Structure 1
Amino acid sequence: MTWEPEIEELRRRQAMAREMGGPDKVRRQHDGGKLTVRERIERLLDPGTFHEVGELAGRATYGEDGELTSFVPANFVMGRGRIDGRPVVVGGDDFTVRGGAADAAIRGKQTMSEQMAHELRIPLVRLVDGTGGGGSVRSLDADRRTYVPFNPGWEHVVENLATVPVVALALGSVAGLGAARVVSSHYSVMVRDTSQVFVAGPPVVARLGEEVDKEGLGGSHIHARNGVVDDVVDTEDEAFARARRVLSYLPSSVHDVPPRGSVADDPERRDDWLVGAIPRDRRKVYKARPIIESLVDQGSFTEIGRMWGRSAITGLARLDGWPVAVLASDPYFYGSGITVDAAEKITRFVDLADTFHLPVVHLVDQPGFVIGTEHETAGTIRAGARALAAIYQAQVPWCSVITRKVFGVGGAAHQNASRLSYRYAWPSGEWGSLPMEGGIEAAFKADLDAAEDRDALLAEITARMDQVRSPFKTAESFLVEEIIDPRDTRPLLVEFVHLAAPLRHPGRTARAMRP
């Protein structure tokens, strides 16, 4: 006698699980422009590497003879696989089974996916397409009871923010606990027009007297601009590609350091156009992203959160193959001044860099915190002070390149002034407690008010101050360490990352990252 009958039963149950919610529900998923959870996992991972855990979990019905008559699989599929050869954990909602809401097995499987990533010290990818919480009111009717809410396994979700890279892809209508799973990550993506994220959906909101559809309530056009998610793509395949790319810059866990990638660009490359990248006219803006692209390895810059906090640019890149975190200013928005959104974006990004031991390259053009009634009302100074604290608390190697303005408390946030000032300035740099353009009128108000020819005196004082603000004057007093030819910036940054590489220390940071 062998166990062949049981093996046949195993194969039968596995086949039933792989049917998910059945042909009709799968068809509806496809008709809605969405892949099934198993198709998603197949496209995300390296081919043939998925090892499923808990495939047989679900709700079974048995006949009087004890034989299995029907089986509804758990609507959460999880297991291990590989991305670019590296082990990862992936867990995804199956919307074809009760719309991704909880059933008898989802809690244990979701919790195990989080715990597995943490204890094996490997990245986690969440494919979120449903609520993933306690299910609908229909489940309460079936159970004939209610319960005090709790979030099963949430301790692992919180712990993973401090230990392993977590990527969350919102791939459908995501509500409640599912929405919390999306934002409790290091990098999150929505698919335009097919995914929405909200605390509660339109039927629940309608009870408050607000009639709105899913897209109007929680579409990507809302959440890409308020920072709920980091990025928006047009297709699910693009979302998978973004997940793979972002993970390529990060270590498998905080217990490692980011590995060096391939070297495909000249470390000594000097782009001549950089010498004129910053306009001589201080009132003119310029495009910051081409400067970033010129300095890092060609094609390696991956921006994160482009549509929110837009006066700050954040992203991951490589320098001579080494992964780095890039922070820069965008003068097209508020003259690159720090708003509440920009401050929150900077805080979260610096925490990400510090958590995963990424050296920071900061291209600085910072006139300070944005001023005025609107921004005082918004609480800019508190959000800005939090960003300043994040920068001072970060332990990773840090290099600042001053390309233009550095003014006030906000400008002072370009690095931790108590550490070694690994810093360069371009000849276009200017700095101080206040920009000259506004500071002259404030400092010489009495003289200007008393002058017979106010404009002439203002021009005279401005000309005098133009001599004072020369960056060479600052360098003479060693208050800025090096003024460089902009074309030399890339070779110097390459030197920085080679010096920084042995200074990166594996292990947890003192401050765990929060959503």
Structure 2
Amino acid sequence: MTWQPEIDELAWRRRLAERMGGEDKVARHREAGKLTVRERIAGIADAGSFREVGGLSGSGRYDSNGRLVDLVPSNLVMGRAQVGGRPVVLVGDDFTVRGGANDGAVGDKLIHAEKMAHDLRLPMIRLVDGTGGGGSVRNIEIKGHTLIPTMKVWQHVVENMSVVPVVSLALGSVAGMGAARVAASHYSVMVRETSQVFTEGPPVVARIGQQLTKGELGGSHIHTRNGVVDDEVATEQEAFEQARRFLSYLPASVHELPPRTEPTDDPARRDEWLLAAIPRDGRAVYKIRPIVQALVDDGSFFETGRQWGCAIVTGLARLDGWPVAVIASDPYFHGGGWDSATAEKFTRFVDLAQAFHLPVVNLVDTAGFQIGLEAEQAGTMRHGVRALAAVYQATVPWCSVILRRAYGMSAAAHQHMGRFNCRYAWPSANWGAMPIEGGLEVAYKAEIEGADDPVQKRAEIEQRVRSLTSPFRSAEAFVIEDIIDPRETRTLLCEFANLAAPLRETGISRFGIRP
């Protein structure tokens, strides 16, 4: 006698689980333009690498003799896999089984997956399509009682944010705790047109008098512009590729260092056009992304959060093969002046760099916080102070390059002034507490108003003050450490990356409470 009958039953149970919600529901799912959860796992994981955990969980139906007749699998599939040759934890909602809503095993499986990522120190990838464990009204009838809302998994979600990289892909209609799991990530992506994220869906929102479609309520055009989700893509395959690229810059956990790749770009490369990249007219705008791409290793810049907090550009890149975090002012958005969203984006990105030991490169051109009634109503100062706290709590190596303006409070966030940082300025740089244009009327009010010709007097004062604003004057006083030829910037940044590499330290970063 052997255990072959049980092995046969095991194989049969696995075949039943692989049917997911059944042929009809799977067909409807695909007709909506979406992949099934198992197709998604196959699409993001290296071929043949997925090892499922908890694949036998579900709701079985038995005959009078106690023999299994049918099985509805749990609508959460999880396990370990290789992505880009590196081990990760994968967890995916199965929308074909009760729309991805909670069943008896989902909560425990979610917790198990988060624990697995934490304790094995592996990145977490969530393929979210449903409520992801938030439950449904149907559970009232099934259980015969109601439940007080709890989030037993949330302790583990929060802990993982400080320990392992977390990526969430919103791949369908994501509500409630599913939406919260997407937002509680280091990097998140939505698929344009087929993904929605909301606290509650249209049927519930209709009760407050708002008749909206799923796309109108929670489409990617909303959440990639308010910071809930980082990026949007056209297809699920693109979402998988974005996840792979993001993780390639990060360590498996904070207990390791970000991996270097084999350098393929000459650190001494000089791009001649950089000499004219910054216009002589201080009011003229220029494109910052080509400058970033010219300074980092060729093809290595991976931008995140392009559609929100637009006064800065943020992304991961490599310098001589070393992963770094890049922040760059964008003068196309209010001249690089920070609004509350930009300050929030800055804070979040600095915290990412700090958590995963990424040196920071900061390319500066900012006139300060945005001003006016709307900026005050938006609490710009509060968000800006949080950004300053992020800089002053960060300990990762830091290099700032002042391209043009460095004025006001946002310029004060260009580096931690209490520790050593590498810092350079281009000849186009200028700085101060506030731009001259905005400060003359205050500083010289009496002199201007008392003049026979106030307009001429103002012009005379401006010319006199401007003659003292050359960055070379500041260099004489060692206000700036060095002024460099823009074409030398890449070489100096690669030197910084190599100097920074041995200074990086593993472990969990600990912050105080942000104001």
Q: Distance in 2 between matches of 1:64 and 1:287?
A: 73
State the match for 1:144 in structure 2.
144
Deviation of 1:513 (Å): 11
State the match for 2:265 in structure 1.
265
TM-score, normalised with respect to structure 1: 0.99
Greater CA drift, 395-404 or 443-452: 443-452
Deviation of 1:152 (Å): 2.4
Q: Distance in 1 between matches of 2:312 and 2:130?
A: 32
Deviation of 1:15 (Å): 0.5
State the match for 1:388 in structure 2.
388
Question: 8 Å contact 1:355–1:512 — kept in the other structure?
Answer: no
| Structure 1 residues 409-488: aligned runs within 5 Å | 409-488=409-488
State the match for 1:501 in structure 2.
501
| Structure 1 residues 133-212: aligned runs within 5 Å | 133-212=133-212
State the match for 2:221 in structure 1.
221
Per-residue deviation, residues 3-51 of structure 1 (Å, max 9, x unmatched): 1111111100000000100110110110000000000000101101000
Q: Distance in 1 between matches of 2:288 and 2:132?
A: 40
Q: Distance in 2 between matches of 1:57 and 1:512?
A: 42
Q: Distance in 2 between matches of 1:414 and 1:202?
A: 43
What secondary structure, in the 3-state scheme, does the structure 2 residue paired with 1:306 have? coil
Q: Distance in 1 between matches of 2:133 and 2:78?
A: 16
Q: Residue type matched to 1:224 in 2?
A: T
Pair 1:468–1:130, CA change in 2 (3 A): same
Question: 8 Å contact 1:176–1:199 — kept in the other structure?
Answer: yes
Deviation of 1:361 (Å): 0.1
Q: Distance in 2 between matches of 1:416 and 1:206?
A: 49
Per-residue deviation, residues 456-490 of structure 1 (Å, max 9, x unmatched): 22222222122100000000000100000000000
State the match for 1:131 in structure 2.
131
What secondary structure, in the 3-state scheme, does the structure 2 residue paired with 1:318 have? strand
What secondary structure, in the 3-state scheme, does the structure 2 residue paired with 1:245 have? helix
Question: 8 Å contact 1:124–1:165 — kept in the other structure?
Answer: yes
Question: 8 Å contact 2:363–2:401 — kept in the other structure?
Answer: yes
Q: Residue type matched to 1:296 in 2?
A: V
| Structure 1 residues 391-410: aligned runs within 5 Å | 391-410=391-410
Q: Residue type matched to 1:71 in 2?
A: L
Per-residue deviation, residues 83-130 of structure 1 (Å, max 9, x unmatched): 111100000000000000011111111111110000000100000000
Question: 8 Å contact 2:190–2:231 — kept in the other structure?
Answer: yes
Q: Distance in 2 between matches of 1:31 and 1:374?
A: 45
| Structure 1 residues 241-390: aligned runs within 5 Å | 241-390=241-390
Q: Distance in 1 between matches of 2:81 and 2:253?
A: 16
State the match for 2:13 in structure 1.
13
Q: Residue type matched to 1:396 in 2?
A: V
What secondary structure, in the 3-state scheme, does the structure 1 residue paired with 2:421 have? coil
Q: Distance in 2 between matches of 1:399 and 1:21?
A: 53
* Identity in percent: 61
Question: 8 Å contact 1:223–1:229 — kept in the other structure?
Answer: yes
State the match for 2:55 in structure 1.
55
Q: Distance in 2 between matches of 1:119 and 1:280?
A: 55
How many residues are treated as equivalent by the alignment?
514
Question: 8 Å contact 2:134–2:176 — kept in the other structure?
Answer: no
What secondary structure, in the 3-state scheme, does the structure 1 residue paired with 2:77 have? strand
Q: Residue type matched to 1:482 in 2?
A: D
Pair 1:445–1:359, CA change in 2 (3 A): same
Greater CA drift, 89-98 or 137-146: 137-146
Structure 2: where are the runs of 5+ without partners? none
Greater CA drift, 18-27 or 438-447: 438-447
Deviation of 1:203 (Å): 0.5
Deviation of 1:512 (Å): 9.1
Per-residue deviation, residues 393-429 of structure 1 (Å, max 9, x unmatched): 0010000000011112221110001111310000000
State the match for 1:70 in structure 2.
70
Question: 8 Å contact 1:37–1:92 — kept in the other structure?
Answer: yes
Q: Distance in 2 between matches of 1:372 and 1:290?
A: 31
Deviation of 1:213 (Å): 1.0
What secondary structure, in the 3-state scheme, does the structure 2 residue paired with 1:207 have? helix
